[in-house]
Structure 1
Amino acid sequence: MVKCIMVQGTSSNAGKSVLVAALCRIYSRKGLKVTPFKSQNMSLNSYTTKENGEIAIAQVLQAEACDVEPSIHMNPVLLKPKGNFKSQVIIQGKVIGDMNFYDYQHKFRDTALKAINESLAVLKEEYDLIIIEGAGSPAEINMRKEDIANMEIAHLADAEVLLVADIDRGGVFASIAGTFMLLDEYDRKRLKAVIINKFSGNLDILMPGIDKIEKIINSPVLGVLPYDHDLHLPEEDSASLKTHKFDNKKDIIIGVLKLPKIANFTDIDPFEFEEDVGLKMINLFDDFHKITKNIDGLIIPGTRNSVDDLIQIKQHNIAEKIRELSDRIPIIGICGGYQILGEKIIDENKKESEHGTVEGLGLLKVETNFNQNEKIVEQSEGVITNSIKELEGEIVRGYEIHEGTTKLKGSKPLLKINKGFGNTNDREYDGACENNVIGTYFHGIFHNYNFRQKFLNDIRKKKGLNLKYEKDPYETKKAYSLDKLAKLVQDNLDMEFIDELIRNKHDKDN
C-alpha cells in the first residue's frame, strides 16, 4: 500500500520545497517509486508537463529528484497572482479563469478539493511513496475551514507530518511552539516531529533550547540542517531574485530587466552556473544608463502582463535606451519579453489589460495579437534556422506558456517548429531575429547548452576572452546540488525516525 508523508512549515520560505526534494532523492535512491505532491501552490514560475498542462516549478525539481517525469497530478491546483487580489486559477494543468481571493476560497473550494482527490488517487496507483509539501503555515487559524493545502490534505492523504522551522529569520522556538499551540487536537496529532532549518553557528549553544522545546511540544526535533549557501537549485518565489548576487569582477555581465510583473524567471538560472558570468538585475527605476553601461547582454524575461510592463518601460523613459543598447549588445526577449520587443501588441478587446492596443519597442518586426481565446501551454521542440548560421539545424527544446500569438512582419524566424505552437496558429516557426535582437516563446531556451554557449562565446570572442566548450555546468551542478542536499539531510536528521514512519504504515497496511 502507498504511504504518504507530509512536510509543513512554520512559515513561508521555511525550506519545505528543498526538504521534499531531498527526501524524494533519498527514498527514490533506496529503490522506492517516489513522487512529490503539492495540492495547491501559488507561483509565477510554472512549467509545461507531458500532458501540456501547467504546474509549479518546485514540483518539477522534486520530480527530477525522484527521476520521474513531471505530471499535472503532482500539483493539481496552481494559482498565478495577477494583482488586485486576483489570481489565475489552474486546475490539473488547465486554466479555469481569474478569481478573487474570496470567491476562490468560498465558492470554488469544493471543485479544487475534488481535483486534489482525483490527482492523489492517480498518484497512489503508480507510486509507493508520496511526499507531500504544504503551503505557508498550518497555523493560519483564520482560514482553517477553507484549507486545502495543509492539515486538510494531511488528513485526506492519511499523512504523518514533519514540521520545518526557519531559524535564520529568528524566533524559531516561538514559531514551533506557536504552531503546535494553535492547532486543535485533531490536527496536532498529525505532527510527529520538527526539523530546524537554515542554521549557522555553534550547535552546542542551540541544544538547551532544543531540549526545552521538545518538552513543551512533546515531540522530537529530528535535527538541525545547516545553511548551505553553495547549493544551486531553482526557486519559485520572486523574492529569490534578490539572491542573484551581482559580482562586477566577472568577465561577462548579463543584465536582466526586472519587470514589475516578472514571471518564469528561472529562465536565467543557467547563467548562475557559468563561472565567468554575473547577473545584474535591473529595476525600471534604476539609473538605466549608468547601470547598463558595462553589461554585455540584456534579457527581457517573461511577464504575467506584457502590456502593463511595456507601459511601465515607457513611463520610466527607458524604451529608447533599450533601443540604443541593441546597437551595442545582444538583447533576448522570452515570452512576454518577446512580445514587448515587437512593433505592436494588439488587444482590441482589452483581454491583457485596460490599455488595449499599444506600440512595442520596435526592435523586432513582429506583431502580437491577444484575440485568441485559449492560453497556449505546450512542451515544444524546434530546429534553429539559418538566422544563426553556426547553430543551423541544432535542436532546441523548451516549453510554452503564453497568451497572445505573434506574426512575423519581416524579421527572420528563430526556430522551425517540430513540436509546439510557436508564433502563429500555423505552428511552423517560433521566434524572430533582427540584428542583435532575438525573441522566442520557448521558456528554457538557455537551458539548451549549445544555444547558451553560442550566446556567451560570441560575447567572449568580442571581449577577447577564452571560448568555452566544456560539459553543461548547469545540469552537472544541479545534479550535484541535489545529491549534496540529500546527503546534508541524511547526515543531520534522524532518518531512522522517518524510516519508521514509513515502515509502520507499510506494516499496518500489510
Structure 2
Amino acid sequence: MGAKCIMIQGTSSSAGKSVMVAALCRIFAKKGYSVAPFKSQNMSLNSYTTNENREIAMAQVLQAEAAGVEPSHHMNPILLKPKEDFISHVIIHGKPAGDMNFYDYQRKLRKRALKAIKESLDNLREKYDLIIIEGAGSPAEINMRQYDLANMEIAHLADADVILVADIDKGGVFASIAGTFMLLDKKDRERIKGVIINKFRGNLDILMPGIREIEKITKVPVLGVIPYDENLKLPEEDSASLSERKYKNKGKIRIGVLRLPRISNFTDIDPLEYEKDISIKFIEAEDTLHGLDAIIIPGTRNTINDLLFLKENGFHDEISDLKDESLIFGICGGFQMLGKKIIDEARRESQHGSIEGLGLLDCKTEFTGAPKIITQSQGKIIGQGIFQGLKGVQVKGYELHEGTTILGDSRPLILLKRGCGNMPGKKLDGAVEGNIAGTYLHGIFHNLKFRRYFTNILRERKGLEKIPYDIDEFKNNTRFSLDRLAETVEKNINLEFIEKLIESDP
C-alpha cells in the first residue's frame, strides 16, 4: 500500500492549509519520518522550476523545504495558472498542456489529469513514509463536487484521513465548520477525523464553550487552536494575498513594485524586504512613480495585456521621465516590456498582436510559438553598465517564459552556464543600459550578492552607508519562520491524535 496519507482541507480559501501542511512536514520530518507534501491540483500565480526542469507551485516548494526534501513535479502534478479572463494555462507533470477554460479542461483533460494525479501519488508513496496532502478551497463547494480533483475525491483516492482547518480571524468560524460538515455527504464527512481552528487572537477560555458545542454538532474533536502570528513571513500563493501583504515601508530608500493586473511570481520581491533602509510599496493604478528610488516591473501571466495597462494608466510616460534618476528593473515579462517592441503576429500572447514596448532597452521580443522555457539557470554577471562592479559574480535562478529576445545596442546582463535566457543556444540573458536592466531569471534577488549590490547602489545614491555581503537575512528568516511555525503548531494541537492516525494501517 505504501506511505500513509494525511490530508489538510479547509473551510475556505486562505484558511491556512498551505502553512499547516508545511508545519506538519517540518514536525514529522524532525521526528524521523520521510515526509513529502502533495497537492493534486493547485491554482497559483507563483511557481518554480524544479531540478527536473518541471514547473510546480511555490507552495509545494516551501513545503518540500520544510520536509527537508528536494521539490519534485510529483508533489504538484496539476498546476493551473490564470492567464486571461476565464482562461488558465494548464500544466501537467510540470509541462504545458495548453490554455483553456474550465469547461474545456473538464471535458478534454479531466481523465488525463486524474491519471497524472494517480501516477504522482503512487510515485511519492513508494519513496516516502508519510504524504501530507493539501486540499484546495473548500470541500463543501457542492456545485463543483462532481468535478473535484483537489479535495474529497483525492482523499478517497489516497485513503487519507482528513483534518479540517478553519480560519477564525474573518469571523463565523463555527458556522463555517458546521456548514462544511452539513454540505458533505456521509461518505465524504466520514473522512474528517478532526478540526483545527487557525489564526486565533484572544482569550481561549472564551472560545471553549463554542469548541465544546461544535464537537457535539460535528462529532469530531477540535485538535487545537493556532494563535495568529504576524511575525511569520513565508511565500504567498496567489494575488489575493497581495491585498493583505504588508511589506515594510519605513526605510529611507523607496522601491516601487508595479502591481500588474496579471502579476505572477511576486515572491521574487520578498528578499528585498530584509534589506536595511529599504521601503517597498506595491504601486496601484492610481499611484505615482515619482519619488521612487527604484522601480521593479515583475513577472506577468500576459506581457502584452499588462503592458497596455501600464500605458493606459500613464505609467509609460512616468517611467520614461524617471529613467535618468531611478533604477528600473524588469523580471521576465517585466524585462520584455522594457524593450522597444513585442512581436506577436500570430496572436499567441493576446488578441492585440504586436505592440510597441516601453522603449527603455534596445531589444525586441517575439512570441514564435516555440515551446515554453522551463529551466533552472545559472551563470555569471558580465559586468556591463551599473553592474560593472559585479563582474564575474555567480547567480542562479529559474526561467518560466515564452518569447525570445533579441538585443540591439543594449548589453547582456548574464553569461549563462545553464539555462536559456534571451534566445536558445546563445547563453546570454537579460540586458542593461544606463539605469535600466532586466533578466529572465526569476529569483534573481534571492542571490545575496546581486541583491546587496543592487541595494547598495541605492544606498550610495542616498548618501547612506553600504552594507557588507555577509549575512543573508532573507534565508535566515525563512528558516526561522518554518521552525517557529512548526513549534507553534506542535505546541497548540493534539499531535498524539494525529500520530495515531499516521500509525494506523494505511
TM-score bracket, normalised by the shorter chain, equals over 0.9
Q: Distance in 2 between matches of 1:209 and 1:105?
A: 40
Which residue number corresponds to residue 357 of structure 2? 360
Q: CA deviation at 1:249?
A: 2.8
Match of 1:430 in 2: 429
Asked if residue 88 in structure 1 is aligned to residue 50 in structure 2, the reply is: no
Partner in structure 1 of residue 123 of structure 2: 122
1:25 matches 2:26: yes
Return closer, same or farther for 1:341/1:42 CA change in 2, 3 Å cut-off: same
Q: In the alignment, which residue of structure 2 is the partner of 1:168?
A: 169
Per-residue deviation, 1:504: 1.6
Q: For each residue in 1:288-324, what CA deviation from the matched residue of structure 2 results, as whole angstroms up to 9, or x when unmatched?
A: 2xxx332211100001111111111111222121011
* 1:41 corresponding residue in structure 2: 42
Equivalent residue, structure 1, for 2:322:
325
Kindly indicate whether residue 491 of structure 2 is the aligned counterpart of residue 491 of structure 1: yes
What is the percent sequence identity of the aligned residues? Answer: 62
TM-score, normalised relative to structure 2: 0.97
Shift of 1:389: 2.1
Deviates more, 1:333-342 or 1:99-108: 99-108
Change (3 A) 1:244 1:145: closer
State the distance in 2 between where 1:223 and 1:50 align: 37
Task: Compare 430-439 and 310-319 and name the one that shifted more.
Answer: 310-319
Deviations 1:207-230 (CA, angstroms, capped at 9, x unpaired): 000000001100000010011000
Question: Which string of whole-angstrom CA distances, capped at 9 and with x for unpartnered residues, describes residues 347-395 of structure 1?
Answer: 1111111111111111111110101321111111111002122211111
Q: Return the alpha-carbon distance in structure 2 between the equivalents of residues 89 and 499 of structure 1.
A: 36
* Aligned equivalents of 1:371, 1:109: Cα separation in 2: 29
- Counterpart residue type for residue 422 of structure 2: N
| SS state at 2:144 partner | helix
Counterpart in the other structure of 1:300: 297
Output the CA distance in 2 between the equivalents of 1:148 and 1:33: 25
Hey, what does 1:344 align to over in structure 2?
341
Corresponding residue of 1:409: 408
Question: How far apart, in 1, do the equivalents of 2:250 and 2:40 lie?
Answer: 43
Q: Which residue of 1 aligns with 2:450?
A: 451
Residue 155 (structure 1) shift: 0.7
Q: Residue 267 of structure 1 corresponds to which residue in structure 2?
A: 268
- Report deviation, 1:426: 2.0
Q: Deviations over 1:413-436 (max 9, x none)?
A: 000010000001223200000000
Structure 1: distance between partners of 2:450 and 2:414: 12
Does residue 1:474 correspond to 2:474, yes or no?
Answer: yes
Q: Secondary structure at the match of 1:224?
A: strand
Flag structure 2 segments of 5+ consecutive residues without an equivalent: none
Question: Contact between 2:9 and 2:17, CA under 8 Å: does it hold in 1?
Answer: yes
Measured in 2, the distance between the counterparts of 1:99 and 1:345 equals: 23
Residue identity in the other structure for 1:334: I
Distance 1:42 1:431 in 2: 29
**Measured at CA, do residues 54 and 216 of structure 1 come closer, stay the same or move farther in structure 2, by a change above 3 Å?**
same
CA distance in 1, matches of 2:157, 2:417: 42
1:210-225 alignment runs, 5 A limit:
210-225=211-226
Tell me if the contact between 2:248 and 2:273 (Cα under 8 Å) persists in the aligned partners: no
Partner of 1:377: 374
Q: Measure, in 1, the Cα distance between the counterparts of 2:127 and 2:370.
A: 35
Alignment match, 1:12: 13
CA distance in 2, matches of 1:127, 1:297: 45
Q: SS of 2:143's equivalent?
A: helix
Note if contact 1:267-1:444 (Cα within 8 Å) is conserved in structure 2. yes
For residues 235-258 of structure 1, the C-alpha deviation after alignment (integer angstroms, 9 at most, x for no partner) is 111122223436553122110011
Matched, 1:310 2:289: no
Query: Letter of the aligned partner of 2:432 in structure 1?
Result: C
8 Å CA contact retained: 1:244, 1:279: no
Please state whether the residue corresponding to 2:211 is helix, strand or coil: helix
Aligned length: 502
Instruction: Write the distance in 1 (CA, Å) between the matches of 2:14 and 2:245.
Output: 16
Indicate conservation of the 8 Å contact 2:343/2:355, yes or no.
yes
The answer to whether the 8 Å contact 1:106/1:146 transfers is: no
**What is the CA deviation profile of residues 394-418 of structure 1, one whole-angstrom value per residue up to 9, with x for unaligned ones?**
1110000001010111111000010
The answer to whether the Cα contact below 8 Å between 1:372 and 1:405 also exists between their aligned partners in 2 is no
Q: In the TM superposition, what is the alpha-carbon distance from 1:275 to its structure 2 partner?
A: 4.0
TM-score by length of 1: 0.97
The letter for the 2-side match of 1:441 is Y
Q: Distance in 2 between matches of 1:482 and 1:260?
A: 30
Residue type at the aligned position of 1:90: I
**In structure 2, how many angstroms separate the alpha carbons of the residues matched to 1:441 and 1:415?**
10
In structure 1, C-alpha distance between the alignment counterparts of 2:307 and 2:185, rounded to whole Å: 49
Residue by residue over 1:472-495, the C-alpha shift from the partner in whole angstroms, topping out at 9 and shown as x without a partner, is 100000100000000000110011
Equivalent residues of 2:250, 2:278 under 8 A apart: no
Q: 1:234 to 1:246 in 2, by over 3 A?
A: closer
Q: What corresponds to 2:230 in structure 1? A: 229
Where 1:142 maps in the other structure, the secondary structure is: coil
Contact kept? 1:431, 1:439, Cα under 8 Å: yes
The 8 Å contact of residues 342 and 360 in structure 1, kept in 2 or not, is answered as yes
Does the 8 A contact of 1:47 with 1:57 survive in 2?
Answer: yes
CA distance in 1, matches of 2:383, 2:147: 54
Supply the RMSD in Å over aligned alpha carbons: 1.1
CA spacing shift, 1:246–1:479, aligned 2, 3 Å: closer
In the alignment, the residues of structure 2 paired with residue 352 and residue 82 of structure 1 have an alpha-carbon distance, to the nearest angstrom, of 10
AA of the residue aligned to 1:343: K
Alignment partner, residue 396 of structure 1: 395
> Secondary structure in 2 aligned to 1:141?
coil
Q: Which residue identity lines up with residue 390 of structure 1 in the other structure?
A: G
SS at the partner of 2:146?
helix
Runs (5+) with no aligned partner, structure 1: none
